[in-house]
């Protein structure tokens, strides 16, 4: 083949390859995108229905309950304004702790309980997922009340 043909062949193949890959992956992208939704928005009803999403915040102190000897777990997560109950069955990550940051993947079940299929807590104590940190910061700002006793009222329609 002559160099010009080679180049045409190379470009043609690359274009076809990229077109197929792009078409295919953009379709699959839609199904695999998982949105992060702030807890206040979940409580207000602004969350993607019929599909999984992520929430994140702090595990409320004293909220972790489990039936003795069972893997079923319930706890509440707060974004410092609103709280949401979370249920989970399975093994927890090592750094899961009350008062610490957590991210949960799952969907909203009945009675406003977030049914998690995956729980993430970060490997490093000092590290918090940026979206969680941001979400917390938003609700702690402008609040004069001390952190512990219910930072602010949960007023979902506010935001």
Partner 1 sequence: MIPEIGQFALILALSLAICQAVLPLIGAHRNDAAMMGVARTAATGQFVFVAISFACLTWAFVTSDFSVLYVANHSQLSLPTVYKISAVWGAHEGSLLMWILILSAWTLAVSRFSSGLPEAFAARVIGVLGLLSIGFLLFALLTSNPFERLIPAAADGADLNPLLQDPGLAIHPPLLYIGYVGFSVAFAFAIAAMLTGDLDQRTAKWTRQWTTLAWLFLTLGIMLGSWWAYYELGWGGWWFWDPVENASFMPWLIGTALIHSLAVTERRGLFKSWTLLLAITAFSLSLLGTFLVRSGIIVSVHAFATDPTRGFFILSFLGIVVIGALALFAWRGPSLDSDAGFGLLSRETFLLLNNVLLVVATALVLMGTLAPLVIEMMDGSKISIGPPWFEVAFLVPTIPLVLLMGLGMNTAWRKQEPSSWLAVLRIPAIAAVLLGVLLPLMFYGRVSLMLAVGCLAAFWIIATSLVQPIRSLRRKEGAAVITRSALGMSVAHLGMGLFVLGVTITSAFNIEADRALTPGESIEVGAFEFEMRELRDVEGPNYSAIEAVVEIRRDGEYVATVRPQKRQYLVQQNWMTEAGIYATWNRDLFVALGDQLGNGAWSVRVQYKPMIRFIWFGAIVMALGGLIAVSDRRYRVKATKAEKVSGTAPEAA
Determine, following the binding rule CB under 8 A, whether residue 113 of this chain makes contact with partner 1. no
Residue 18 near residue 12, CB atoms below 8 Å = no
Asked if 44 is part of the footprint of partner 1 (rule: CB under 8 A), the reply reads no
- From CA 67, how far away is CA 107, in angstroms rounded? 22
Please list, in sequence order, all residues whose beta carbon lies within 8 angstroms of the beta carbon of residue 38, skipping any fewer than 6 positions away.
55, 79, 135, 138, 159
Judged by CB under 8 A, how many residues of this single chain contact partner 1? 43
Shortest spacing between CB 155 and partner 1, in angstroms? 21
Site for partner 1 in 21-40 (CB under 8 A): 21, 24-25, 28-29, 31-36
Smaller CB separation from partner 1, 90 or 150: 90
3-state secondary structure (DSSP) of residue 89: strand
d(CA 25, CA 11): 21
61 binds partner 1 (CB under 8 A): no
Shortest Å distance, C-beta 150 to partner 1: 26
Nearest CA among 46, 129, 51, 42 for reference residue 83: 42
For residue 97, the Cα-to-chain-centroid distance in whole angstroms is: 17
Site for partner 1 in 73-92 (CB under 8 A): 90-92
Interaction site with partner 1 (CB under 8 A)? 1-3, 5-6, 9-10, 13-14, 17-18, 20-21, 24-25, 28-29, 31-36, 54, 66, 68-71, 90-92, 94-95, 122-127, 129-131
């Amino acid at each position: 083949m002559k160099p010009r043909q080679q180049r045409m062949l190379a470009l043609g193949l690359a274009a076809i390859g990229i077109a197929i890959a792009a078409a295919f992956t953009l379709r699959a992208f839609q199904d695999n995108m998982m949105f992060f939704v702030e807890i206040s928005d979940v409580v207000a009803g602004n969350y993607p229905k019929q599909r999984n999403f992520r929430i994140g915040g702090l595990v409320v102190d004293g909220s972790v309950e489990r039936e003795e000897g069972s893997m079923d777990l319930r706890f509440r997560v707060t974004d410092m304004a609103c709280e949401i109950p979370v249920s989970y069955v399975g093994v927890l990550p090592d750094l899961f702790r009350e008062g610490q940051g957590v991210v949960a993947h799952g969907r909203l079940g009945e009675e406003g309980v977030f049914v998690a299929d995956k729980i993430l807590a970060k490997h490093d104590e000092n590290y918090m997922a940026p979206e969680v940190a941001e979400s917390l910061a938003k609700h702690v700002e402008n609040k004069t009340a001390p952190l512990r006793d219910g930072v602010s009222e949960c007023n979902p329609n506010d935001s």
